[in-house]
Structures are given as C-alpha cells and as structure tokens.
Structure 1
C-alpha cells in the first residue's frame, strides 16, 4: 500500500479510510499514543496503537527517533489539539533507534548543541521548520525571476577573478603542498597547476553575470560563494549562497525598483506557503524574548516584522542625508553607538543601519550614492567624482540585506578606477570587453540567501539557517 504524507493526512477531508503513513517517532506515550512526523509538516499525526494486541517486543522498539510504518483507519481524533488520528491496525518497525544514545530527545536543546549535531538537528521542530522555509524561499527566488523573463545562469565556482577586490579567497590547487614547483625567481610556478594559473573559489558570480546580461538582457545567478574571512561571528559563513541578478539598460532607480519588488515577493511567498512553520518560529522567538532584558527585546513579533516589509514602501535616502541624520542622532551625541559617526565617508555599521530603519524612518530603507572609496571598483562613478551609484537595502533587526549598484559602463572610467586600485587589466580583459563592444547602462544587486532566511525565520545566528555551516575551524559533516 502506498504511504501518504502526514501533511496530506492532516489536510484530508475523508475519514474512515484505510491509510498508510511512514515517518519517525517523536514521542510514544502510555504504550499507546505515537506522535509521528515525516518532515512534510511541522505537525505530527497521532497514531493510536492497539497495545493489547501488539507484541510487547514491538512496543519496546517504538522509541524516539525510530522509523516506523503504520497502517490503519484515518479517523476524527478524540483527543484535544488534533483533528485526525490513525487508529493503527498494523505497525512495522523500519529502523530502530537507541533511546539512550539518540541525541534529539523531546526536550529543549541549546543551539550550540544542535550545531554540533547538524546531521540530526533537522529532526527537531525548529530546524525542520527552518529548512522547509529555506526550501520554499529558494523556489520563490526562481519563481520570481522566471516569471519576469530572466535567464538563469550558472557562473563559475572556480575563478581567477576577485570580484570584490577583497583578497579573502580560498585558493584552489592540485600542486603538491610539500613540494611546490618554483620559477627561476623562486615564486610558485602556477603554470604547472591544474588550470595553469592561480585560481580560487568564487566570492561572487557578478562579473561573469554581467557578460551574460550584455547578451541576454536580464539574467540571475543563484549559487554557492566562498569567503576566507576569519570571522567567527553570528553573521559570517565561509560558504554561503548568493542571488545576483544583472539587467541591461537598468539604471540605479530601476535597480532599486527591482530589488524592492523581488524581496517583497519572496517574503510574501513564504507567508503564503509556510504559515504553520512561521507560526511555530514566532512562538519560539517570543519564548526566547522573555529571557532577555526589556531593553533588548524586539519591538515586533516575527510575523509583524515580515508584514512590516510588505506593508511599507522602502524609503530612499542618500548616504549623505543618512550621515547627517546619524551625526545628529541622540545615540551618536550621547556616544551610545559603538562606532561614533563624526564625518562624511564613514563606513556604516549594523547599529547605524538599524537606527535608520527602526528608530528614524520606521520603514525599510534604501541608501544610495555611497563614497567611492568604500565601494567596489565596478560601481558607476557619479558626476561629483567622489560618490558612486551604489545602493544598500536595510531591514529591521538585521541591517543590510541587499547590496547593489549601477555598474560602470564607461570603458575609460573603469580603466582608471582599476589602475588606481592596482587591478590587472590583463586578468580582467574579458570583463573590459563588455565595455569595448556594445557597452550600455546596466545594474544589478546581490542578496545573501542565508541573510534572507535569517530574516524570514527570525533566527539570530546565520549558522542555524544553512544545513551544514562552514566557519573558521569547522568543516564537519
């Protein structure tokens, strides 16, 4: 008999039918009541065992974590809290679980403990909910761009280009590390490496994406990126996923329109399709908030925060105006900011971004026209010669969630910027070719997928929204 997902059983409108369900035991009470979950929903289905006619040996094997198959009648539940239950006629143990050794017992575990058991943590309600939401958000990303006529492009994971100019990249090599070939000058001879040159794991698919936008009009990438930044914080990962659209003929204003529309679409999609999981995570967050001092508690619940983004137009503010607001703000004057804003040109921190969103404007904010010297070389230089057509989207509780810009389409200006920063023209000849052959105004942005999942789930540590986090000194599983 084909088994039916728990989600479908709980949503069924037909009772007194024979069904089969398979899943994992969450709890087993009074030798009679099994809470069964198969991952299709955060909700369990109660399975009522006929313990008088079930062998004692089988009952002993129904333990937390065990995989089982139950066949019986789907009936209206007599107990509170659930509409349907399965009155079990036949029960089969598919996989035993040692109740004394299984780490995911039905009790509260610390997030740190769960990270140490990342291969099993998805069996908990919290991580099951997070990963289902992550999956739905991923689908929403593709759905949005496909509906808008974007072409999905798989940009290289191995590259010789450093898109950000940060230098914090993981090197890729097949050279023997204990016997590196050297040139006559004593340098490592990369001509003998697998690719014949120095290569790294990518930090962004943007530069390659731009080349495709210059032929296909509008494209997006959605793939893994890597950053060898030795930051052991709740906001950093060494391996993460990036969403990066690039659009020919879009200026900065059109770029901001696209980013706002996109991010509201995916959040609404999650609200429409993950109601049970979001309701659970909201309750979890409210419980967590109780243990915090009043001053540190969030002013909005999780669902209020998500609807806050949907119900408010994003306020567009220049960097210069934002600096004036921050410099004159009470937290700055009373030195309550960790990073005091004294002058134009400061690189804004999360505390400044959140102040603008949560305290001053009370809506999502798009900052634009940043100082050129704190932004990447490919961003279009404004006529003032000191700012670039960059934009960042700021959200409550998290600060920056999207970063983008109008790209520098003028060949001569781009060459000068590269020279000033010491970027080798020969290494990026192919990127410069897009400015030599049919250049046009174009724009794009990057959204770290984990940052989006973090915002939608209300989690506070980015390591908890990716299946297997990669961080300094940690590459388990």
Structure 2
C-alpha cells in the first residue's frame, strides 16, 4: 500500500526494513558471556573498571557494564595497564578466550597497539568507590556511584526482572495497564499523611497533594476496563526512621471488577508474586545469589523463594480472629493483643515465620481499624486481607470495595470525611455500580524480601525519608 501526502511518496515497508535489524553500539557483556559464540573472536567491550592489578609482566582489569551480574577480566600488557584506574570508563578491543584463572569462564586478551584500549572517561584516586568494603550507610551518601557495586546493581536488575514478570502475568490474565495521577485532591487512606502542593490554590480551591495510593483512580479505570493494574510512585509524609519505611516508594496495584469473593482477589495477588519468583529462572537466580557473599544468607534467600512455591499448593489463609487467638495462646513473649487491635509487626512475623513458616493471608479484620471503602464481611469485620511473609511481615493489603452507594456514604460520614472531596468516587456507586476488589503492594518491600536486602533504603535508586534527600 502507498500513502500519498503533500510531500514525497512514502513506502512504509521499505522504511521499516531499513531500520528493523539495526544494532546500536558494541555487544554488551550479557550478550558476550551468555554463550560461547564469541570465543576466539575479536570483540569490543565497553564498561567501567572495578579494579586494576598491575604486575611486572602483565596487568589485569576487572570490567563491568551492569547488564549482567558477571564482570570480565581483561588481560593486557603492563604498559596498557598504566592507562587504567578504578572507576574509569573504557572501551577495550581484544580476543575473547577461555580463562586460565579461577572464578570466570572467559577473559578478554587485549589486542596490541595504541587503539586497543580507549579511556572514554578518566578517574582518579579520589574516586570514592574503591575496591574495599563500604558500609551501606556510606554508600547511601554517594548515590551517584553506589549502584556500580555488584550487590546493589543486582538489586536494580531484579527490579527490572520483577516488573517485566508482573506485566507478563497481568497481560496473560486480561488486565490493562493504566497510569494514575501523581497529583491528586484525594487522600485514599484518609490518614492525612500526605505531602501538600504549594501554593495551596494552584490546582483550585480543593488544594492538592502527592498521591498515597492509586486505588481510587484504579476503581475508575476498572469501571470501564474491568481488570486494571499499574505501578506508580506513592508518597507518605511519615517521620518513621526505620529500615521498613520510605517517604517515596513504588506501589504495584490492581483492581478487578465482577467479583464478590475475596478469594478471587487473593488468587490474583498470589499469582502475581509467584510470577516474579526467581526460583527456576537460572539467570534471575544467579543475578541475586552471586552478589551475596555469605552462604548462610544465600540459603535464607533461597528458602524464601521455595516457600513461595509451597509445593504448588495455595498459601495459607486464616481470619484475623483466628490470628489473634494464635498469638494469645502462643506462649511467646509477644506484645499483648485483644480483638479489635491491629496486628503489630512482631505479631505478623510470628504468624508467618513460626506458625506457618511461609506466606499467609490474614482476612476479615475489624472494620474499626480499616479504611472507609472496604465492604463488610460479618459482624464488625470487613472483607479484606494482609499478606504476611516471614521476617518482613505485611507485604500486600487488599479488600473487596463497598459498591453500595448508601453504605459507602454512611461509612464516609462515620469517618468524618469531607463528602464533597470524593463526590466523583461516590458517583461510581450511583451510576452503574459494580462488585469489585483489589490490592496494593509496596514494591521495595517485595524487592527486600526476594533479594535479602535488610534495609528498604537499599532497594530503591534514590531513597527519600524524613530528613534525607541527598540528590
């Protein structure tokens, strides 16, 4: 087919063929090292020097480009090694050969000549990320460099892997990915822990703030598309200074229409997590495990992955009432709890870690401790759930949403909310209301659990918390 415009004749197929197979730049380390196809051939490698070792007759450089957990040892003549220093960005041409050393299968033997090694960006002894141990606290003080390390870069690669797995899972189950607003006039949780936009009247009389959750807007999308999900930043103005809290983080959220069963929502949440489990994917597993030096910690991480598989069986389900009884009768030195109080972190870790030794859904919490939009499930309870995992506690929270206009309006009044601020939300129940439910998961908490990261500030590129915004 030929398309005629005011300009020259355009033949799309010819144009597309011209660029469809074009490769930009040299091969990445990931592509070079994933097979033996390039062994014995001349290749060009681009990357950054992690370390340099200079001997009398030979020099070695450990080079990485971040596309894989592996680095490449470069073997060169001493005079070539003089050009290099830790942190420098280089381009090296040489022959990819079977390695004579330990710890790697292949090495790059630099070609002779002045053009074999090209320093694209020099470094100096003042480069802060030298080859030695650096504490996580120190690395957080140099966010411009901390992701060059093997451990931290593995976390970023897993983030990418998990996001792609989530997308595949939802696509296979007929979900549409949508984009919800970051600036909103609504407080989804009703807790008031929001960042306000200044000047207050910039977006109108209501004022605006940074979103704490996409849920309310996802319900709007679900009213048109039936099944929706998104991954978006969320913001909480909490002054908590712990290893579990961030002021800016990412949320994975989903809403599904035409369900009256909480079990449907649990099944989707469980399926999503299973889809991103690295167990069984050799590349994803090696990316994480190779960056953990301590064998005991590697075993802990692998045990977490295996618990998610759970021999193919659904994860455990208990009600809040049953959970409280288990805690009260545990005999453990736990914070006392009575029915109607929220589970503390130590309670959550006890249930998942010691009682069930794996993921467990706790359902039907008291209405008094949950947000206004949840659908009642019984006498004083709502149809909701928290997913608890060992050592971490709560990972996901979700519920069936109240779809009756009068009931939702009354719940908002009981919570002393400004009805006018959410009149658009009430309209979903006034015109064509539908049964639905959904959930949200803090992505960084999930990354911590899968990768064995102890502090949530090390699971995100540029962590923000009360009193800290380095760059």
| 8 Å CA contact retained: 1:202, 1:225 | yes
CA distance in 2, matches of 1:328, 1:383: 24
> Helix, strand or coil for the counterpart of 1:41?
coil
Answer with 11-20 or 156-165: which moved more.
Answer: 11-20
Structure 1 gaps, min length 5: 176-189, 290-299
Answer with 322-331 or 356-365: which moved more.
Answer: 356-365
Q: 1:156: how far off?
A: 1.0
Q: 1:197: how far off?
A: 2.8
Structure 2 gaps, min length 5: 1-23
| 8 Å CA contact retained: 1:24, 1:36 | yes
| 8 Å CA contact retained: 1:357, 1:396 | yes
| 8 Å CA contact retained: 2:151, 2:292 | no
Deviations 1:402-452 (A, max 9, x none): 000000111111111110111122111111111111112100000111111
Q: 1:88: how far off?
A: 0.4
| 8 Å CA contact retained: 1:2, 1:20 | no
CA distance in 2, matches of 1:315, 1:17: 54
| 1:44 lines up with 2:85 in the alignment | no
In the alignment, what sits opposite 1:199? 208
Deviations 1:115-134 (A, max 9, x none): 11111000111111111111
Q: 1:60: how far off?
A: 3.0
CA distance 1:45–1:16, change in 2 (3 Å): same
> Helix, strand or coil for the counterpart of 1:412?
helix
| 8 Å CA contact retained: 1:285, 1:458 | no
Deviations 1:211-241 (A, max 9, x none): 1111110001210110001111111101011
| 1:125 lines up with 2:150 in the alignment | yes
CA distance 1:398–1:379, change in 2 (3 Å): same
1:176-195 alignment runs, 5 A limit: 190=201, 193-195=202-204
Count of aligned residue pairs for this structure pair: 437
CA distance in 1, matches of 2:197, 2:190: 17
CA distance in 2, matches of 1:214, 1:173: 32
| 8 Å CA contact retained: 1:282, 1:301 | no
| 1:321 lines up with 2:344 in the alignment | no
| 8 Å CA contact retained: 1:226, 1:239 | yes
Deviations 1:162-218 (A, max 9, x none): 00001000001236xxxxxxxxxxxxxx3xx34343110000110011011111100
CA distance in 1, matches of 2:355, 2:105: 46
Root-mean-square deviation (Å):
1.7
Deviations 1:66-118 (A, max 9, x none): 1111101111111122111111011111111112x111111111000001111
Q: Name which of 88, 93, 114 aligns with 1:66.
A: 88
Q: 1:275: how far off?
A: 2.1
CA distance in 2, matches of 1:375, 1:270: 37
Q: Name which of 385, 390, 401 aligns with 1:396.
A: 390
CA distance in 2, matches of 1:357, 1:281: 26
CA distance in 2, matches of 1:469, 1:201: 17
In the alignment, what sits opposite 1:222? 231
1:30-429 alignment runs, 5 A limit: 30-31=54-55, 32-51=59-78, 54=79, 59-89=81-111, 90-99=116-125, 101-174=126-199, 190=201, 193-250=202-259, 251-268=261-278, 271-284=281-294, 286=296, 301-312=300-311, 313-331=314-332, 336-337=333-334, 339-341=335-337, 343-384=338-379, 386-429=380-423
CA distance in 2, matches of 1:214, 1:324: 39
Q: 1:48: how far off?
A: 0.8
CA distance in 2, matches of 1:221, 1:4: 33
> Helix, strand or coil for the counterpart of 2:363?
strand
Q: 1:271: how far off?
A: 4.5
